[in-house]
Chains A and B, each alone.
Chain A
Amino acid sequence: MSYPDNFLRGVSDKNSLTPDGVGVSAGAFHFDLSKISNGWLEQSICWEDNDSVVDLMLRQKKEDGVIQFKIGVVRVPRSCVQYINKLPQTRELLSYERKELDDNPYHGNLLLKKDAHNFTRRLVAAMIAAHVVDVINQEHILD
């Protein structure tokens, strides 16, 4: 299966960004212990297969009609996964997948081994956040 160079993560909490809108908190990438599948913790992302994915994410709405990612989306290079997997503290703990949804063919997951220690989960989140290359806020949406 092929993957693009970057993935996108939606941001719905204003506290996930620094006030200047440039820095991204590691909190935006913390793995939820309740989202487990086949031995992996899942963190929802979208693969940036083409230029329309950002727009699709920014327009995405929840069931109640409210915008899903109120703050915007952040772009992360896929290469960060290999980078993190080579570090002694986080070796071979991280993976990814495509998991298309009916209304989102770009959807996928970052995957962290479910038995990873809490300490390691925090580290991985911080490492991913450190690799964010772009913050695209809701003002970028094309009307």
Chain B
Amino acid sequence: MMNNHKLGDATTNNLAKEENWCLGEKEFGALGRESNVFSEFRDDTTGRGFKKLFIADEVYRIVKPALKGVSEIKVRNVAKQATDIISDIMELIINLQSWNVDIISRIPPLHAVALEDNSFLIEWIFSKYRIGFVLERNKRESMWYMVSTIDGNDLASGMLSRTDYKKLLAGLIPFVFGYS
């Protein structure tokens, strides 16, 4: 069964390389599923029209609430930041899922909420810790954090603009896998 999901008017450059996003038959088979999810993104920045993206059901389950939240963002710049992060997280999960497919099913969905000041909050919420991205209208003030209630493992945070963002996500995703 194919489902069609469209990401509103949000745009992203990261989806331009759609070949990096397609799950081939081999990977799809590794999930042990007979169905897949078909998602469609519009890339206004390149003017290349619609990009097609195949995401396995389990990966889509993780990002679906955040994608839904993006549709409530009123500020285009914030929406762009949000779709970029969600896209990159999806990409990393897809690339990592060959480790252990069972782990993916234990990862909670990304939670997202538009805040009153038109910023946007994306969080991975676990019982003892959480990872968050606060996307501000002023992109230079957008930030990330990892907060824990475990003594000695309290807090890590930084500005997204001053962080090697890809390296950060590449470090956080395995952490999520390890604690899920």
Contacts and interface: CB of A to CB of B under 8 A. Distances in A.
B58 interface: no
Interface string A43-80: 00000000000000000000000000000000000000
Contacts of B132: 26, 122, 126
B31 interface: no
Interface stretch (B38-46, B87-95, B121-129, B172-180): B121-129
B130 interface: yes
B136 A123 contact: no
A105 interface: no
B108 A16 contact: no
Interface residues of A, number: 25
- Majority secondary structure of chain B interface residues (helix, strand, loop or mixed): strand
Interface in B72-130: 108-109, 111-117, 121, 123, 125, 129-130
- Majority secondary structure of chain A interface residues (helix, strand, loop or mixed): helix
A126 B145 contact: yes
A89 interface: yes
B113 A130 contact: no
29 contacts: A13-B113, A15-B69, A15-B114, A23-B111, A25-B111, A25-B113, A25-B121, A26-B121, A26-B123, A26-B130, A26-B132, A33-B117, A87-B155, A89-B155, A89-B157, A119-B143, A122-B143, A123-B145, A123-B155, A123-B157, A126-B123, A126-B130, A126-B132, A126-B145, A126-B147, A127-B147, A130-B147, A130-B148, A131-B149
Interface of A: 13, 15-16, 18-19, 23-27, 30, 32-33, 87, 89-90, 118-119, 122-123, 126-127, 129-131
Interface of B: 65, 69, 108-109, 111-117, 121, 123, 125, 129-130, 132, 134, 136, 141, 143, 145, 147-149, 154-155, 157, 159
